[in-house]
Amino acid sequence: MNGLTTVPADPASNAPLVGPRSLVLPGGEHGVLLFHGLSSTPAELQFLARGLQRTGFTVRVPVIDGYSFGTTGPRDHARWAQAALDAFEALRAECRTVAVGGLCIGAVLALGVAARRSSEAAAVLALSTTLHYDGWAAPWTRRFLGLGAWWPLTALAARIGVREGAPFGVKDERLRGWIATQMQNTGHSDAGAAILTVRDLIEARRLIDGVRRRLPVIATPTLLVHAREDDAASPRSAFEVAQRISARDVRCVMLGDSYHMVSIDREKHRVLSEMKDFLQKQTGQVGGESQVLAENRTRFDRQERLDDGRALASRRTL
């Protein structure tokens, strides 16, 4: 059940023994930059990221200090937005074109980048965009986030958390059970953190407010993917983006068998297919990968598995 709880005064006490790592997936000349949701990790976008890489795209899913789970940097929406823009500029230096996307608040970060670099972004891929916390299972406490500016003590907001509960944004019951166990054991899962602090949610609200004001300046071709039964944010958010941006090419896809976490839920293959089709239309990227690219990806995957094994071994010895 969703509800209020207290969290440790030291954020580092909630951090995993091995911190999150950015996904850096080499590919071709067209890049895709994806942002995970608030207080989560790149793992929630791993399926989509690797699927895009297999199509030939260079993909990055960065860890953002103070935004990603397991990091201890300042909780500041302006810093998150700047880090997202910096990641876009870095990938632009490597690739001929760069599309930007994300999940939940990550989609808001992507829209923020597009608002500041509309003529430079090849496309926007907004998944489960969250401008309003109005899903059917959204905690009642989130209705009061608009009062965030009136919180008298920032320290108090940092000590109060909203505990995530079933269905965890996932319609697939088997996956939901696995997530519940993972959250109970580690405080985190591929669906995000078990507890979100009120301070982080207030900063997310401020980020949303700033991006909403700038939606009309976005002229970048935009794909919006949203679940009709989104438990965290109803399709109202996706419809608002579609109506208010100035892009001529806008595709809005409504999913019928998923909840909020569309990147890992029952229709993740359809989500990947929609993303690939939209990107190929905007960039001209042809599906498939060259032998050289395949060899590079194989070497990268082997190294990543080796790193994962070392990380697991370090957990067992600590």
pTM of the shown model: 0.82
What integer pLDDT is reported at residue 299 of this predicted model? 52
238 neighbors 129 (Cβ within 8 angstroms): yes
Distance from C-alpha of 290 to C-alpha of 145, rounded to nearest angstrom = 49
What integer pLDDT is reported at residue 259 of this predicted model? 96
Percentages helix, strand, coil for the chain (3-state, rounded to 5) are 45, 15, 35
- In the beta sheet, which residues pair with residue 30? 97
CATH number of the 20-143+205-287 domain: 3.40.50.1820
Tokens of 303: 């190294």
88 neighbors 188 (Cβ within 8 angstroms): no
269 neighbors 37 (Cβ within 8 angstroms): no
The structure tokens 């003529």 sit at 119
**Quick check: helix, strand or coil at residue 129?**
coil
Distance from C-alpha of 164 to C-alpha of 41, rounded to nearest angstrom = 16
What integer pLDDT is reported at residue 243 of this predicted model? 98
Distance from C-alpha of 87 to C-alpha of 265, rounded to nearest angstrom = 27
Distance from C-alpha of 196 to C-alpha of 104, rounded to nearest angstrom = 14
pLDDT in tens, 260-307: 999 999 999 999 999 999 999 999 876 654 444 555 555 555 545 444
Distance from C-alpha of 237 to C-alpha of 212, rounded to nearest angstrom = 10
Amino acid letter for position 178: W
Distance from C-alpha of 242 to C-alpha of 236, rounded to nearest angstrom = 10
Q: Show me where the domains of the chain are located.
A: 20-143+205-287, 289-318
**Quick check: helix, strand or coil at residue 91?**
helix
Contacts of 249 (CB under 8 A, 6+ apart): 221, 222, 282
Distance from C-alpha of 15 to C-alpha of 128, rounded to nearest angstrom = 26
What integer pLDDT is reported at residue 137 of this predicted model? 86
**Quick check: helix, strand or coil at residue 49?**
helix
pLDDT in tens, 142-169: 555 555 555 554 555 555 656 566 677 8
- pLDDT beneath 50: ranges in the chain: 1-17, 153, 191, 289-292, 303, 305-318
Length of the chain: 318
Cβ count within 10 A of residue 93: 9
